[in-house]
Amino acid sequence: MNEENWLAQPAPKSSKQLSEEAKPVKEIVAFSKGNEALIDECGSLLGRKSYWTALQVTAWVLRFANNCKAKVSKTKKSSGSLTTEESQKSIEYWILRAQKDIQENLERPGWKIEKDLKTGILKCVGRVHRYHPIYLENGKFTQKLIQYEHERTKHCGLASTMAAIRENWHI
């Protein structure tokens, strides 16, 4: 069939009422899928994948969510390899997720647990100056972290694994 035989496309009529109806729909679409909604899909990720893989997938999902919001917030989209900052944000996400049920300002023997003002992560404050390990309780993230540190220390045993963990974490 030739283009000459095609039916003419009707021209859309624009009115004030149509533009008012279209605008809220765009806003709902733009704001209905925030970081929290996209990341909740990653909830079972730690059960299926390793610690490092879960962090990388989370970093990619966070980047995707930020790129989706880039047009609305008028920021530049990220592309290329993951940056250190993006990887750090994925670690912070999993830490905050693991700490969501822990009360702030708890007292443990030898430690006081306080919230970091910049990141919102709970850290232990004790007698040692400038040593504030991140506080974690038992959970899937903690188990994967211990397994990762055990493999990173080349299976050297309990003492080496615990020493590596205690550099940054208080479990």
* Domain ranges for the chain: 18-94
In terms of pLDDT, which residue wins out, 47 or 55? Answer: 55
At 29, the pLDDT band (50, 70, 90 cuts) reads very low
In terms of pLDDT, which residue wins out, 2 or 49? Answer: 49
Q: What is the per-residue pLDDT for 1?
A: 64
Average pLDDT (13-39) is 56
Separation between Cα atoms, residue 45 and residue 41, nearest integer Å: 8
Specify the long-range contacts of residues 3-12, CB closer than 8 Å, at least 24 apart: none
pTM of the model: 0.72
Helix (H) or strand (E) holding 59, with range, is: helix 51-73
Separation between Cα atoms, residue 59 and residue 65, nearest integer Å: 10
Query: Is 84 within 8 Å of 97 (Cβ atoms)?
Result: no
Separation between Cα atoms, residue 48 and residue 41, nearest integer Å: 13
Alpha helices of 13-50 — where are they, by DSSP H? 16-32, 35-39, 45-48
Is the pLDDT confidence value at 151 over 60? yes
At 12, the pLDDT band (50, 70, 90 cuts) reads low
What's the mean per-residue pLDDT of the chain? 82
Average pLDDT (138-155) is 92
Q: What is the pLDDT of residues 56-114, one digit of tens each?
A: 999 999 999 899 888 888 888 888 899 999 999 999 999 999 998 887 777 877 788 88
